[in-house]
Amino acid sequence: MKAARYTTYGPLEVLHLEELPQPSPGVSEVLVKIRASSVNFGNVTLIKGKPFISRFWSGLFKPKHTIPGSDISGHVEAVGRDVTQFKPGDEVYGDLSGCGFGGYAEYVTCPQEVLALKPENITHEEAATVPQSGLVALQGLRDKGKIREGQKVLIYGASGGNGTFAVQIARAFGTEVTGVCSTRNLEMVRSIGSDHVIDYTREDFTESGELYDLIFATAGYRSIYDYRHALSPEGIYVSAGGAMKQVNQGMMLGPMLSKKGGKKLTYLYQRPNQEDLIIMKELIESGKVTPVIDRVFPLGEIRQALMYYSGGHSRGKVVIAI
C-alpha cells in the first residue's frame, strides 16, 4: 500500500510517499480502506516535533508513529474475530489520534471503538473533515462552554476548520452567533449560519460594547484579557486553538482568572469519542451541519497539502483524497 511516512523530526520535506505492506487486523481490530483524510494542527506538530513538549507523547528523540494522519473516512475491508460493531463494506469515519495515527495511507487497522458509521448524505472527502474539528467544536461549546439556547455566542476564527463547525453547531443549539473572520471570508461565514459577522481587519470586537455569554476561540491570537473584557458577567471563554500564546494563556492563566468573579476562562483538550461521532452524524444527516472544504489534494501531494495548511489561511478544511 502507499503511505506517507517519516522516520525523523524536521521540516515537512522529511515526509515521503512509500510502498509498505498492507496491515492485517488483530482480533479486535478493523481494517479500513481509507478514501480520504484531512489536515489538522496535530499532524504538522507530529512531523516537526515542535513545540518540543509534544514529543513527550509522540517520541522524545524520534517519532513513535511514522505515518501521520488522524481523521479518516473509508470502508471496512476486514474485521477481527471479536469485532461486533462493523462488517466488511460498512462506510465508516473516525479519529486515529488516540491509537497510533496512520491516516495518510491507503489502509489502516484500528480498534472498533474509534470508528462510527459515516453520515450517509456526504462524501468521504467531506466526512474526513469531521472527526477532530467537529468534535473540537462540539465538545468545546457543549462541555466546556455549557452552551444554552438563547445565548449570545462569539466564534473567533469562524472561517477555519474548527470555526466553521462551531458556527453551525452553535446555531443548532439555538443561539445568536457572531463570527469573527477576515474580509474575504465574510460571505462564507454568513452562508453557514452566522447571524452577525465581524471583519477583524476593520473592527475590534472588544470595542463594540457587546458582551457575549460564550466566546469560543479557534484561531489567531487575542489576549485572554481581551476575551474576558467581552464576556457577560457569567460568561465563559473557551480556548480551542490558534497561536500557542493564545492556547497557553487559556491553559495557564484561565484557571487563575476564573477565580475572580463569575466569568470562566478555560481551555479545551479534545478527546476522540465514538458517541460524539454519532452525534455529529445525526447533525449532518439532519442538515444542521455541512462540512466546509477549502481544497482537496491527492495523497501524492501530501507535503503541498500540509504546507498550504501551515500558511494559516485555509477556509474550512484541507482534505487528502486517497
Domains of the chain, residue spans: 2-129+291-321, 133-267
**Section 82-105 average pLDDT:** 97
Do 159 and 182 meet the contact criterion of CB atoms below 8 Å apart?
yes
Tell me what the pLDDT averaged over the chain comes to: 95
145 by DSSP, 3-state: which? Answer: coil
Banded pLDDT at 127 (limits 50, 70, 90): very high
pLDDT tens track for 9-43: 999 999 999 999 999 999 999 999 999 999 998 88
Q: Which set of grid coordinates corresponds to residue 202?
A: 476593520
The pLDDT, as a whole number, for residue 115 is 98
Domains 2-129+291-321 and 133-267 share a fold: no
**Res 76 pLDDT > 90:** yes
What value, to the nearest 5°, has the Cα angle with vertex 132 and ends 294 and 174? 85
The 10 Å Cβ neighbour count of residue 173 is 18
**Section 37-51 average pLDDT:** 90
Q: Where are the beta strands (DSSP E) in the chain?
A: 2-5, 16-19, 29-38, 71-79, 91-95, 107-111, 115-117, 152-156, 176-181, 196-199, 212-217, 231-239, 264-267, 293-298, 317-321
**Res 258 pLDDT > 80:** yes
Q: What is the largest CA-CA distance in the chain?
A: 61
**Res 244 pLDDT > 90:** no
CATH hierarchy code of domain 133-267: 3.40.50.720
Q: Is the dihedral of CA 116, 43, 311, 240 positive or negative?
A: positive
**Section 300-305 average pLDDT:** 96
CATH hierarchy code of domain 2-129+291-321: 3.90.180.10
The pTM of the full predicted model, rounded to 2 decimals, is: 0.95
> At residue 178, what is the residue type?
T
Q: What percent of the chain has pLDDT over 90?
A: 82
Contacts of 235 (CB under 8 A, 6+ apart): 211, 212, 213, 214, 215, 263, 264
Banded pLDDT at 274 (limits 50, 70, 90): very high
**Section 114-124 average pLDDT:** 98
